[in-house]
Structure 1
Amino acid sequence: MNTRIISVLVSWMVLAFSSGARIAAQRPSPQPFTLDDEMKMRAIVDVRISPDGDRVAYVLSTPSLAKNEHEAALFVVASRGGTPARLGDAVHIFNTPVPRPQLRWSPDSSTVSLVGLAGDRPQVFAIPLSGAAPRALTAAPEGVFAHEWSPDGKALAYLTRDGMTPDEARRRQDKSFVIRADAPDPATRLVVQTLDGTAPRVLTPAAHYVDGFSWSPDSRELAYSAAPRSGFSAPYETRLYKIAVDAGTPRLIVDRTGINNGPRYSPDGQWLAFTTTNGKTDIMASRSLAVVRARGGPVRTLVMDDAWVNEYTWARDSKAIYFEANDGTFGRGEHMFDQPIARVSVNDGHAERVVPGQTVDYAPSISNDGRRLSYKAAEGRTVGDVFVMDTATKRATKITDVNPELHDRALGDLKPISWRSFDGMQIWGLLLTPPGWTAGHLLPLLVYIHGGPGGGVTYGLFPQFMHFVPQVDPYPTEAMTSAGFAVLFPMPRGGAGYGEAGQRMIVNAWGEADYKDIMAGVDHLMAQGIADPQRLGVMGASYGGYMTNWIVTQTGRFKAASAGASLTDLSDEYYLSEGGQFMVDYFKRPWENHESYVAHSPLTFVQRVTTPLLIQHGERDARVPISGAWKFYRALKALGKTVEFDIYPRGGHVLYEPMLQREQMRRNFEWFTRWIPVR
């Protein structure tokens, strides 16, 4: 080669290398992820593509410590990408206790509608893209909880509650009102309001507690699901009905036990899709997707290997349905941490995954021409962004970046792992390791047990709460791993990922095989040279809190533990919880199975505890009443054990106020760093 050419090439390479080095030197190194960062993360809480497919609306929730609330803001962005525009600043998007905007579009794509606060009541507001002033579309005395535009754009259907009777109003005024146990709640009604100023009309009877509905494509009918009562287990008594908008009596379409709710008309008006437990009435029954002719007839269930279908939308040709689900065909083995959008054929039940990779997807909606599908997706170590997919090519484009700060943070590595339990069953979990960690260095390990028991974890920055405002997570796992901890998120039997049969493996057996599954995972990480056996911690809330309490009564291997919203005396959960029926599904009633209730209650074995325990509970927790936490705390104190008990004012089963959320995270971070050294 010509020496002159060689000289020029060498000079160019040196220049390029030195320029690249200068750029790298100028770029700041990633910073550790802190507790403050946890509280700065924004979350997309709703996404909806316009009917014409040109734009996507989304609502972004941001925790405000100054206002002690999660503030919501509406944005609209071109479906091909671009700079999002904020709309409707004057509307206070419904955020009590967290944002629930119920985003919808007018059929002509000119207006976004959502639920905002008018005084202290949620109402539907219309926010024009033109920039004209938002206006309230409803004035329901008890507020609006869901709404849908009629396909012809002439009317709005919405859900509201009946108000109090004149007699109750009088009694409340003169202070003679008495709360009676099991008195029926006011009915949840389906109402239609034309947009020409005509007064709204209630369509459904007081005996129907409506929880979902859908317009027929010709705007003449509404299909809806309803139970004969309200309450925790009411969804297991839902039936499907349809009713003419102009007048008429509800017609029963699906009449069987179990969950049958969320009906959606197919675009051609021939079918109704809905979710169902296939006649089963217990909490472990899978929530399948089903279809039935809109005029009624046999129900066809699309089981898909026990998939728990969460959200879905019809393909525009009415031949298939897009959906996202836990468990099932696309959620087993190493994929149980995914929640991808898939497509199922109505004709033969064949399903295919349409969003690849490690992804957790929510809120799918499709344009009228069927060419574009929008959704929220959390990938790897993110909180989620808006994506738009070309349905023909299946090519998806990310069109938002709502947490750009993450690009400048050193984040842990999250990956699926598996191990064999005591009986040879393969158990899975996620392992989060500190940024920059290399094999060969033992790590302090925190075991974070999910709620449920039928819950699970997914990819994302908040693996148990990617579907929600994520700061409800009491454990700041990313800040913990930045401090040097590894975190194991086990998925023991009894939870998601193993089908309905897997969920039933712990009936009458909490704390048995599920406990052994978790401990086998800890042993696996010790054998792999990852976990330091002298620096182990355990934590969890709800069922995870129960399991944390159970673990510290069974072993002294953990140096610290934190239990949130936790069960300690299982009979309390039946007698005092709003969801007492939940315990019947697992253990029967206490007087029918007394010995088992006692044998599986951590309180029974409280004298065995040697691990320092932090107990955290919301004072208004109706799901797991605080009485059990008090029992465990007082027993441990009387026994001279190391225990602390934090009660969160106004708190429920989870905490919604940012100041309390931050304090709970801070407290857990402080607790584990106090007892477990991070070298």
Structure 2
Amino acid sequence: MNLLSRCTRLPLLAACFLLPTVPGLTQATARVNAPGAVAISPNGSTLAWTLRDREDSTIHVAELAHFGDAKLVTPHGTSDCASGSPVWSPDSQTLAFTSSCTGKDAKTDQEQIFLWSKATGEIKQLTHVTGNIEQPAWSPDGKQIAFLFVKNATRSAGALDAMKPWDGVIGEDGVEIQQVYAVSTTDGQENWETAPSLHVYEFAWSPDSRQVAFIAANPPGENNWWVAKLYAQTVLPRGEQPHQEPVVVLDPNTVTGPLHGLQIAVPRWSPDGKRIALIGGLMSDQGSTGGDVWVVDVKGGDPTDITPNIDGTPGFEAWINDKSIGFVEDRRGHTVLSDYNVATRSMIPDSVIDLGEATVSGGQIKDAVGFSSNGVLAFVKSGHDMAPELWAGTGDALRQMTHLNDGARPLARTESIEWENEGLHVQGWLTYPKNYNPAKKYPMIVTVHGGPSASTGSRWGGSSWAEEGYFEFQPNPRGSFGQGEAFVQANRKDFGYGDLRDILKGMDAVEAKVSVDKNREGLTGWSYGGFMTMFAVTQTHRFRAAIAGAGLSDWLSYYGENSIDQWMIPFFGASVYDDPAVYAKSSAITYIKNVKTPTLVIVGDRDGECPAPQSFEFWHALRDLGVKTQLVIYPNEGHGFRNPDHIRDRKEREVKWFAENMPEKQ
């Protein structure tokens, strides 16, 4: 389960959930300008990007040759609203983008699609819809723009935001369906839409503009992404043809081989229109994308893995030509760009670009990497020691384009740490306490990421625990991205066991390296990290205090409580009704009498991914067993907290909990 796209958009991931909010760190990071989504024009001459300032975001455009003359693109001359999702027309002359700047002095949550003319600077509103718009994309002939759309939406699509209160006939009333809509670029009138019988997650135009490929499943969309199929559908402008039904190109649940029963994402057509590339692998959250790169004929048939045995995790791919595909991968904490020959399924010599210990846009690769038709690429690069900046160029001549944050300095030192356990090579990150003195001993907080199919990368933002005088250890145990698909799948039917052993072994490696006070070690995590926290304190007394955020205490009851139960079957191998024992084996409640660790439990009351009853069940057990505990439930919050007051209050409670339960000996 994860969080990285609206906050950066990923469900059991701890990225946004652990945003620093203590006063000193908040003030430091508030001064950082954060470029986000990137769009390079097809001719490689012009770059568009978003820049976020607290709640608002703006779009900027500049010629690569004259980058100092950037233009602010905003409807109605106001930037006190949100603009995003920039995408260039095929002729590189018009920029489409979404914005809530729909009128003078008008600030609403409703976004529309706008068009900006590079030649004249004119901006016109293209759509006039009511609902949620995502992922606008030009047709290759420039005549249409398609986008994901939820008509009359009451919330963003997906399970991350706060769920609607239960009401009416559950599973039937009020189900919100995301479809692909397409409008004419001349008058904004609707040309076509996909059928409401399918909830669409991603789509891509065919090179001839006559088809779309999309990944979709039967509603409800929050639950069924894990069993989604790849479809292709003929789509022509209104009046040119009768409605065409979508055709299944690939169903992971019916194929044989390594892709069987796994998840697919990021469909991309080959330039000749005959094949579709995608990412396929074991994924715990929509938006937290990772796996191998697969290619399938648009007419169907067996897919081909073109990256077998790769030692990293690709998360985004694009065709370079009919013979090769380029992709971005997470490789043991590094971000790496590579090109592969489709026919030979091998890396093209001298094509690798290692960006080092860095991420692109905090991990949301699809929005952060742009490719032009002539080999120019652009991306947002950041890391523990580098604030986010725009980079662009060709593979052998990449250069930093912006200097938005030249004065920004990390608040503490972070370095990669690696260790061996049970034949596996494991990687993680160690952040030192602020003003570290090697002659002193310091307490340590272990932060476990969500997912589990995700990873903690080198991202700007600092560590609130370092600010408070702690080491922070962020391991990427088995089940994480970054070391190939076999490593990702190494936790199947084994939640809480092998991954916990990896974490404990990593703690040993940290203790052998730096001066950790072993009597003051704490554990925390959100989502899957919250589960790991609840489970770990039933297996070891090594931690003096723990904080479980949005966790899971009982996989059996969780199966019937959450809004996304389909994600569990690929990991547990069966439903809870067919094999309850495998679920009980990884449930903290099964071993709850072993707990001695003081544990703070935190959750949102409308969390659809990790419902509040899971936290209540764990807290209730600890309370009855006489273990120090506290449960805090925040109103109107989903899996990712949105209310700044709640985020601030939560962080203050976390800091206080560790300070009180891991005091320094006088």
TM-score, length-normalised on structure 1? 0.79
Report percent identity of matched pairs.
Answer: 25
| Alignment partner of 2:47 out of 29, 53, 56 | 56
| Alignment partner of 1:311 out of 304, 308, 316 | 316
Paired AA for residue 247 in structure 1: Q
- Cα separation, partners in 2 of 1:55 and 1:655, compared to 1, 3 Å: same
- 1:450-529 alignment to 2 at 5 Å? 450-462=449-461, 478-529=463-514
- Where does residue 287 of structure 1 map in the other structure? 291
- Where does residue 443 of structure 1 map in the other structure? 442
- Cα separation, partners in 2 of 1:293 and 1:192, compared to 1, 3 Å: same
Alpha-carbon distance in 2 for matches of 1:607, 1:33: 39
- Cα separation, partners in 2 of 1:242 and 1:652, compared to 1, 3 Å: same
Alpha-carbon distance in 1 for matches of 2:543, 2:643: 31
Alpha-carbon distance in 2 for matches of 1:670, 1:280: 32
Equivalent position SS for 1:103: strand
Alpha-carbon distance in 1 for matches of 2:146, 2:287: 30
Given that 1:224 and 1:240 are in contact with CA atoms closer than 8 Å, whether structure 2 keeps it comes out as: yes
Alpha-carbon distance in 1 for matches of 2:47, 2:510: 44
- Where does residue 470 of structure 1 map in the other structure? none
| 1:130-178 CA distance string (max 9 Å, x none) | 67453221123434323212233222223324569xxxxxxxxxxxx93
- Where does residue 16 of structure 2 map in the other structure? none
Deviation at 1:100, TM superposition (A): 8.3
Deviation at 1:563, TM superposition (A): 1.0
Given that 1:432 and 1:486 are in contact with CA atoms closer than 8 Å, whether structure 2 keeps it comes out as: yes
Given that 1:253 and 1:297 are in contact with CA atoms closer than 8 Å, whether structure 2 keeps it comes out as: no
- Where does residue 400 of structure 1 map in the other structure? 402
Equivalent position SS for 1:590: coil
- 1:16-415 alignment to 2 at 5 Å? 34-63=25-54, 70-80=55-65, 81-82=67-68, 84-88=70-74, 90=76, 101-117=84-100, 119-129=108-118, 132=121, 134-161=123-150, 178-181=168-171, 185=175, 187-197=177-187, 199-229=189-219, 230-245=221-236, 246-247=240-241, 249-250=244-245, 252=247, 254-258=249-253, 259-277=263-281, 287-293=291-297, 299-305=303-309, 308-315=313-320, 317-326=321-330, 331=331, 336-351=332-347, 352-361=351-360, 362=365, 363-370=368-375, 372-391=376-395, 394-407=396-409, 411-415=411-415
Deviation at 1:541, TM superposition (A): 0.8
Alpha-carbon distance in 2 for matches of 1:123, 1:312: 28
- Where does residue 416 of structure 1 map in the other structure? 416
Given that 2:198 and 2:217 are in contact with CA atoms closer than 8 Å, whether structure 1 keeps it comes out as: yes
Alpha-carbon distance in 2 for matches of 1:132, 1:574: 53
| 1:368-387 CA distance string (max 9 Å, x none) | 333x1111222342342211
- Cα separation, partners in 2 of 1:154 and 1:54, compared to 1, 3 Å: same
Alpha-carbon distance in 2 for matches of 1:278, 1:302: 17
Alpha-carbon distance in 2 for matches of 1:339, 1:662: 32
- Cα separation, partners in 2 of 1:79 and 1:376, compared to 1, 3 Å: same
- 1:578-589 alignment to 2 at 5 Å? 578-587=563-572, 588-589=574-575
Alpha-carbon distance in 2 for matches of 1:484, 1:522: 18
5+ residue gaps, structure 1: 1-31, 64-69, 165-176, 463-476
Alpha-carbon distance in 2 for matches of 1:593, 1:215: 42
Paired AA for residue 644 in structure 1: Q
- Where does residue 609 of structure 2 map in the other structure? 623
> Which protein has greater RCO, CA pairs closer than 8 Å, 6+ apart?
2
| Alignment partner of 1:665 out of 621, 631, 651 | 651
Matched, 1:593 2:579: yes
Paired AA for residue 649 in structure 2: E
| 1:251-294 CA distance string (max 9 Å, x none) | 63623335455332334545432333499999999633223455
Alpha-carbon distance in 2 for matches of 1:532, 1:285: 37
Given that 2:323 and 2:341 are in contact with CA atoms closer than 8 Å, whether structure 1 keeps it comes out as: yes
- Cα separation, partners in 2 of 1:347 and 1:389, compared to 1, 3 Å: farther
- Where does residue 432 of structure 2 map in the other structure? 433
Deviation at 1:397, TM superposition (A): 0.9
Paired AA for residue 625 in structure 2: L
- Cα separation, partners in 2 of 1:656 and 1:338, compared to 1, 3 Å: farther
- Cα separation, partners in 2 of 1:56 and 1:658, compared to 1, 3 Å: farther
Alpha-carbon distance in 1 for matches of 2:273, 2:575: 45
Alpha-carbon distance in 2 for matches of 1:49, 1:282: 25
Alpha-carbon distance in 2 for matches of 1:559, 1:279: 32
| 1:195-215 CA distance string (max 9 Å, x none) | 332731224333333333333
Alpha-carbon distance in 2 for matches of 1:129, 1:657: 38
- Cα separation, partners in 2 of 1:619 and 1:94, compared to 1, 3 Å: farther
Deviation at 1:620, TM superposition (A): 1.0
TM-score, length-normalised on structure 2? 0.81
Bigger CA drift: 141-150 or 372-381? 141-150
Deviation at 1:670, TM superposition (A): 3.2
Alpha-carbon distance in 2 for matches of 1:586, 1:453: 10
Given that 2:46 and 2:63 are in contact with CA atoms closer than 8 Å, whether structure 1 keeps it comes out as: yes
Alpha-carbon distance in 2 for matches of 1:368, 1:159: 24
Alpha-carbon distance in 1 for matches of 2:600, 2:76: 43
Alpha-carbon distance in 1 for matches of 2:472, 2:34: 23
Equivalent position SS for 2:427: strand
- Cα separation, partners in 2 of 1:295 and 1:233, compared to 1, 3 Å: closer
- Where does residue 28 of structure 1 map in the other structure? none
| 1:295-331 CA distance string (max 9 Å, x none) | 666643323425543222332x4432222133xxxx2
Q: Which has the higher helix share?
A: 1
Given that 1:228 and 1:238 are in contact with CA atoms closer than 8 Å, whether structure 2 keeps it comes out as: no
Deviation at 1:639, TM superposition (A): 3.1
Alpha-carbon distance in 2 for matches of 1:596, 1:268: 46
Given that 2:269 and 2:275 are in contact with CA atoms closer than 8 Å, whether structure 1 keeps it comes out as: yes
Equivalent position SS for 1:102: strand
Aligned residues: 598
Equivalent position SS for 1:127: strand
Alpha-carbon distance in 2 for matches of 1:83, 1:646: 50
Alpha-carbon distance in 2 for matches of 1:215, 1:376: 25
- Cα separation, partners in 2 of 1:90 and 1:404, compared to 1, 3 Å: farther
Larger Rg: 1
- Cα separation, partners in 2 of 1:41 and 1:619, compared to 1, 3 Å: farther
Paired AA for residue 279 in structure 2: T
